[in-house]
């Protein structure tokens, strides 16, 4: 593929930005976003402002290219046919169903690319596709709606349920709920349509519901869900000691839940949880021939992956735009951040296809990748006009994957590796009588102590 000298310089010196641009151009293309909107929207319609224009501005905030929606609007003012007020009205009326469709449909497209790149992760339990379910409450917004002015309460703009796909390390589905006080269990009926036979769903105790178990098993799927104390268990047989893992000792026992016989994996922890308890019970319908109790108990520890995803959405991407107080707008902002995260995982898949999956997982720093995008992307887009970029949206999947591989080969690996450090040493915090100290005085004390020793 022939490139201009200027573009080649960015490929050589900032390949991550070029890869991000390649993903954005394909995943956030106006045609794709508007088509999803037209299909999923029930009440909204397009008048002067295209949905793709509003979504594109939010994606700039999610990637950290713009500090706020207002800043993004000002930078593209000449191309937007409406006022900033009309833009905000468009955002705050976006239906949750549109947000959910955006994540699901763009995931399908990115999954095809990752498959062609041969960058999917192997299943921890062979033959069962691991998927992780978790909820997330959007942080309180700084924007004060009229009803909240003069009060000190925090305004929560909504909550989401997300399904994390372990093979691609992306979020495959999202449920958006405007009422932040909605019980997550009331949303479970909307989760099962996403599951397929031989899926293995991993979830915390908040999703320990008998009807949910029944629905999963009816699909030919499997689950590994932590037991909640509100769900009664009938013991069937004796408890057997299986073995030890790093967090404690594992036992197994058959139990009855409703009409189903399940495996209960009892973990007696070496150290207590935050609530002081040492006993953790996991319920599963995975047969012994597919996975042992010890294997499943260790697998449950992978639940941190979706927690890490939410952390990266907060730390590296602007998933919660504090100035968006209306639930629909806040949920759309979170959706665009999820799509941006999935795009970033596609970038990592391209790097893994060239440099190796283990090397990317163990050595590559997501922080440095995100930092380069924030520092260089906007300048690159100014220097290289849109007409100079190849039309990636119209490429077939194989050609597009090859394009990503070509760019990934230019990565200067040492620039993006994690800082290596030794294991953390346990520290005993000293009790102090004051709530603050003078740093200068502490340093002076250290210097005086060192002087006396010498």
Residue ranges and CATH numbers for the domains of the chain are: 5-95+321-416 (no CATH), 119-145+154-307 (3.90.350.10)
- What sign results for the dihedral spanned by CA atoms 50, 54, 59, 60? positive
Report angle CA 106, 395, 15 to the nearest 5 degrees.
80
Residue 454 has pLDDT above 80, yes or no: no
The alpha carbon of residue 218 and the mean position of all alpha carbons in its chain are separated, in whole angstroms, by 28
Is 22 strand, coil or helix?
Answer: helix
CA proximity to 52, closest of 38, 67, 71:
38
Under a CB-based contact definition with an 8 Å cutoff, are residues 184 and 284 in contact?
no
pLDDT tier for residue 147 given thresholds of 50, 70 and 90: low
**How do residues 244-276 score in pLDDT, each as one tens digit?**
988 899 999 999 998 899 999 999 988 888 778
Residues in the chain: 454
The backbone torsions φ and ψ at residue 172, rounded to the nearest 5 degrees and listed phi first, read -90, -30
Give the H or E element holding residue 332: helix 327-355
In terms of C-beta density within 10 A (0-12 exposed, 13-18 middle, 19 or more buried), how is residue 412 classed? exposed
The alpha carbon of residue 377 and the mean position of all alpha carbons in its chain are separated, in whole angstroms, by 22
> What mean pLDDT comes out for the span 313-330?
63
**How do residues 180-210 score in pLDDT, each as one tens digit?**
788 888 899 999 999 999 999 999 999 999 9
**How do residues 81-100 score in pLDDT, each as one tens digit?**
888 888 888 888 889 999 99
């Amino acid at each position: 593929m022939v490139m201009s000298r200027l573009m080649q310089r960015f490929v050589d010196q900032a390949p991550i930005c070029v890869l991000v641009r390649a993903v954005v151009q394909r995943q956030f293309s106006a045609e794709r976003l508007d088509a999803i909107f037209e299909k999923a929207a029930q009440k909204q319609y397009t008048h002067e402002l295209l949905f793709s224009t509003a979504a594109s501005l939010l994606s700039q905030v999610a990637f950290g290219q713009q500090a706020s929606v207002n800043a993004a609007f000002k930078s593209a003012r000449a191309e937007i046919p409406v006022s900033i007020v009309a833009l905000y009205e468009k955002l705050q009326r976006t239906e949750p169903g549109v947000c959910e469709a955006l994540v699901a449909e763009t995931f399908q497209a990115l999954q095809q690319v990752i498959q062609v790149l041969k960058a999917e992760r192997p299943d921890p339990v062979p033959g069962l596709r691991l998927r992780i379910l978790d909820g997330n409450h959007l942080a309180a917004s700084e924007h004060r709606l009229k009803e909240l002015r003069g009060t000190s309460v925090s305004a929560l703009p909504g909550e989401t349920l997300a399904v994390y796909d372990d093979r691609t390390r992306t979020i495959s589905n999202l449920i958006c709920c405007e009422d932040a006080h909605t019980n997550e269990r009331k949303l479970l009926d909307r989760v099962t349509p996403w599951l397929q036979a031989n899926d293995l769903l991993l979830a915390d105790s908040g999703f320990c519901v008998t009807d949910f178990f029944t629905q999963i098993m009816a699909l030919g799927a499997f689950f590994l869900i932590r037991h909640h104390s509100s769900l009664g268990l009938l013991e069937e047989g004796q408890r057997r000691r299986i073995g030890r893992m790093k967090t404690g000792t594992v036992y197994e026992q058959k139990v009855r839940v409703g009409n189903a016989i399940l495996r209960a994996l009892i973990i007696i922890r070496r150290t207590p949880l935050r609530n002081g308890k040492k006993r953790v019970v996991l319920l599963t319908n995975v047969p012994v021939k597919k996975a042992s109790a010890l294997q499943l108990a260790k697998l449950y520890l992978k639940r941190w992956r979706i927690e890490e995803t939410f952390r990266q959405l907060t730390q590296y991407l602007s998933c919660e735009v504090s100035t968006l107080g209306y639930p629909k707008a806040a949920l759309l902002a979170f959706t665009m951040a999820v799509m941006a995260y999935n795009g970033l995982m596609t970038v990592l898949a391209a790097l893994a296809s060239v440099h190796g999956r283990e090397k990317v997982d163990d050595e590559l720093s997501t922080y440095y990748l995100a930092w380069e995008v924030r520092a260089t992307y906007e300048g690159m887009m100014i220097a290289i006009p849109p007409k100079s970029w190849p039309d990636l949206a119209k490429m077939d999947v194989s050609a597009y994957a090859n394009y990503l591989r070509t760019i990934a080969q230019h990565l200067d690996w040492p620039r993006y590796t994690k800082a290596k450090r030794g294991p953390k040493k346990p520290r005993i915090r000293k009790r102090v009588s004051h709530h603050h100290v003078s740093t200068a005085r502490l340093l002076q004390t250290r210097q005086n102590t060192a002087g006396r020793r010498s």
